[in-house]
Amino acid sequence: MDFQHVGLSRRSALKAGAFAAMASLLGAKLALADEKSVAAELKKLYGDKAFAEGKIKLDVPEIAENGLVVPINIEVESPMTDADYVKAVHVYADGNPLPGIVSYGFTPACGKASAATRMRLAQTQNIVCVAEMSNGTLHMAKANVKVTIGGCGG
């Protein structure tokens, strides 16, 4: 397209377009995940398999004063032998823009199925942790974290 006839250079037109796109993104409300989107992710991974409670120790704060850095510690009870070990752990949040937070893979060589990280939470929401065992069984733990300030959504 020839922008010269309207007095714009190509660079100016690109800048204007980028600015307009950015303004529309900032003006639009960010869509957040919900319990249904977490359930859909779990269904994608595991179909209609049942989830048992127990085995997972999910350590998150009840109240996060800063949603930008919320600590999470996960520990799954398992002997971590060749015959019985934790294959994977998946963490979801039902109030962030995307439900998936982090996934970890384990082998018997790990010796222990535990992990720690920090996550960003947009708002008060549920954290869902799923452990997939080597024998195909699934375990789930949930916790609610109240976010007072910060987070993905500001």
Task: Give the start-to-end residue ranges of the domains of the chain.
Answer: 1-30, 35-147
13-33 burial string, b = 16+ CB within 10 Å, else e? Answer: eeeeeeeeeeeeeeeeeeebb
The hierarchical CATH code for the domain 35-147 is 2.60.40.2470
Examine the pLDDT at 69 and tell me if it is beyond 90. yes
Asked whether residue 110 carries a pLDDT value surpassing 80, the answer given is: yes
The pLDDT-based confidence of 27 (bands split at 50, 70, 90) is very low
pTM higher than 0.95 for the full model? no
Looking at residue 3, what is its pLDDT? Answer: 43
Query: Tens digit of pLDDT for each residue in 42-51?
Result: 999 999 999 9
